[in-house]
Amino acid sequence: MRTGGASTSSLDSSSTTQWKYDVFLSFRGIDTRRSFTDHLYAALKRKGIFTFRDNEELERGNYISAELLKAIEESRFAIVIFSINYAFSTWCFDELAKIVKCMKETGLTVLPIFYDVDPCDVRKQIGTFEQAFNEHAKRFKENTEKIETWRAALREVGSLSGWHLQDRHESEFIQVIVELILHKLHLKFSINTNSFTYKQKKESITKNLVGINFLVDELITSYLRLQGNNVYMIGICGMGGLGKTTLARVVYDMCSNHFEGSSFIANVREAYEKNGLLPLQKQLLGQILKERNIDIWDVYEGVNMIKNMLCQKKVLLVLDDVNQLDQLENLVGKHDWFGSGSWIIITTRDKHLLVEHGVDEDKIYSPNTLEDQDALQLFCSKAFKKEQPKEGFLNISYSVVKNYAKGLPLALVVLGSFLAGRTIDVWISALKSFKKIPKKEIVDILKVSYDGLEEMIKEIFLDIACFFNGEEKYRVMEILENCGFDAGIGISVLMDKSLLTVESGKIWMHDLLQDMGREIIRQESPKEPGMRSRLWLHEDLLHVLTNNTATKAIQAINLKGAGVQNYEAFPKALSKMYNLRLLKIGGVHIPNGLDYLSNNLRYVNWHDYPPKCLPFSFQLEKLVGRTLWDSQIEYLWEGIKYLDKSKCIDLRYSCRLIWTPEFSGSLERLYFWGSINLVKIHPSIGKLSRLTVFDLGTCGSFINLPSMSSKTEYLQVLNLCGCSKLREIEFQGILKSLSKLYLGIFPTTLYVI
């Protein structure tokens, strides 16, 4: 039972104390060291309560040690265990006097336990306590002040609210004590992130970590609660190397002592791949139940044991780096597997995995990369072993942080460690090299997400990494769809896997993920670009042309900016690229024309296309889209070409275009804007049943527009603005989908038949 009046030492008075221990145990060794005190110490330790218990050897001296006095000063709580022989120890009384002093000065909370003694004997100092003081009085005749200090301390602590063992079972008694300590620690360790004790504990745990304090505060205050009966199952999701594991570990270390049991299972993906689920289930149960030998015959039995043994326990469980649904289903299947107030924290690179398991989207935390200042500090801590760059290294350090690592903790640590102690010339050389061949330690970690993708989605990832980072999403999706990929689901999966984001309608991929993707392509043939599936660097294409090393391995070419130099070799190189499906290029002049393009081409975007027409041998069955802005084309082809898959032809600003061929198939968009010499438009255009956009803006040379029949029922946009010689337009029937008709300022007659 609890005894005495309440002791409510102010929690606020501790605001200037640097706590090191949660609990200080004061006891008489010969009475309880190997029995009650040992059991209490073990129970406190199991709950993660950091407890000071003096070594047995310390009591052999006559005077209390400075170490022990300091431990009292650095403790939040003192548990004083009064027993039969307690008062006979001057050591115990010196401890008690110090405890009372700290209770008044530093806010130490004191909790007495009356073990086989009557609380009244302690307060009134009778029985064995009276005998002890009689002996002390004889020994300290000349120091009566010390005796009075001990008496006052004994009266004060003996009058505090505490526990009287009486005839109770010790195990139950200890459980009550530990639960009260946990509760009081919860009050001291307020979830208010502005409280001193919260900040103090966080700072002690994150002392050598940079930029994580804000993330910890945000995660705990927005996604978790210590009080309440709900089971909180949350996810921490983001790309590899972002610091998800570190964040989860800090939260775990800060909060695990608030729970009846806790378990941190690191590297779930790796452990699962090596040994399956059974060892993970054993680890989970073993850590929470404090049992080393957990016997589980199979995964099914493990599930039942987790449900049955933990459903009444308030636990903190972290599953780190989860990548398969069955890992979640067999380790943390449902909320009701765990007791009220439990926290289940899952780190993963796959957002959809969390959603699939039933984690609410508003319970998925996606931390950002480090801000520039924090990123610089982390980098400098590795590169210079201090928070700021060494003299002469400021600009290049900023370059590493802002232009290469882009706030990714993994990259900052790896690069900082690699560059430490090296000269600035080596730094410059290394960074130039990393842009071509990124550090293996970074690639290996980032590549884990890529390795888990299906083949089609890998291809989409590589196309975006090599060609489309920062491009408009709708354009990228259109091109990928043209290439035969299911772009919608592919981009969605890549977003779920934290491999790209969509912001303001554009697709973005972290530069290091882009570098990783490009490194995958480089590794296809490290020394010969002609054997790689994708080319995006001018020097690589120039190498292929100059050395005549083009092969059928090349699937896609996308060059931005200035064109290549060796133009005459381009037709010959193209003739070897049998599997070329995507070609995006510009500024290439071919003096002798072009006689071959791969029949596997799905998408062509060639600015300033030089020949006057497409190659005669070029079959268009698979070609879905072609964009030939500013081309030198006079006509596309002669005769009939089957355009079963073609959706778009874009010949804007093709000033030499004279006439259009016969069109068929499923064309949806035709753009001839700025083709100022176009004089003849084939009548077949008026019968394209799937045509939605027909743009003839500023085509000032043609006179007659083919009659637009009712077959063009899907036509939405017709642009005739600037068609100065056009005098009449004939519509046969109602074009029910037409929503935009641009006629400009020129006199045109509209006929509807």
| Residues forming a β-bridge with 265 | 319
CA dist list (Å): 373 to 376, 654, 735: 5, 50, 60
Residue indicated by tokens 């977003």: 495
CA distance 20 to 39: 22
Q: What is the dihedral of CA 353, 357, 358, 364, to 10 degrees?
A: -40
Cβ 51 vs Cβ 41: under 8 Å: yes
Question: Strand pairing of 669-671 and 693-695?
Answer: parallel
DSSP string, 126-152: -THHHHHHHHHHHHTTT-HHHHHHHHH
Q: What is the dihedral of CA 214, 220, 223, 225, to 10 degrees?
A: -160
3-state secondary structure string across 382-397: HHCCCCCCCCCCHHHH
Cβ 452 vs Cβ 461: under 8 Å: no
CA dist list (Å): 509 to 370, 424, 461, 473, 490: 16, 29, 10, 12, 14
Strand order in the sheet with 261-265: 261-265, 315-322, 343-348, 232-237, 364-365
Question: Per the structure block, which two tokens stand in for 306?
Answer: 């987790």
Residue indicated by tokens 């993708």: 453
CA angle 488, 490, 494 (to 5 degrees): 120
Catalytic residue among 95, 156, 459, 519: 95
SS3 assignment, position 731: strand
CA distance 506 to 474: 8
Residues sharing a CB contact under 8 Å with residue 395, sequence separation 6 or more, in sequence order: none
DSSP string, 484-517: T--HHHHHHHHHHTTS-EEETTEEE--HHHHHHH
DSSP structural state of residue 640: B
Strand order in the sheet with 21-26: 2-3, 162-164, 109-114, 75-82, 21-26, 51-52
Cβ 512 vs Cβ 446: under 8 Å: yes
Q: How many C-beta atoms surround the C-beta of residue 166 within 10 A?
A: 10
Question: Per the structure block, which two tokens stand in for 567?
Answer: 């133009």
Cβ 676 vs Cβ 655: under 8 Å: yes
Backbone torsions φ then ψ of 472, nearest 5 degrees: -60, 135
Our answer to whether residue 634 is catalytic in this structure is: no
CA distance 28 to 81: 8
DSSP structural state of residue 507: E
Question: What is the torsional sign of CA 621, 623, 629, 630?
Answer: negative
Cβ 524 vs Cβ 500: under 8 Å: no
CA distance 22 to 74: 8
Single-letter code of the amino acid located at 538: H
Smallest CA-to-CA distance from 83 within 44, 36, 45 is with 36
CA distance 417 to 135: 66
Smallest CA-to-CA distance from 427 within 456, 375, 392, 463 is with 392
Backbone torsions φ then ψ of 325, nearest 5 degrees: -65, -40
Q: How many C-beta atoms surround the C-beta of residue 516 within 10 A?
A: 24
Backbone torsions φ then ψ of 346, nearest 5 degrees: -120, 125
- Show which residues are catalytic: 95
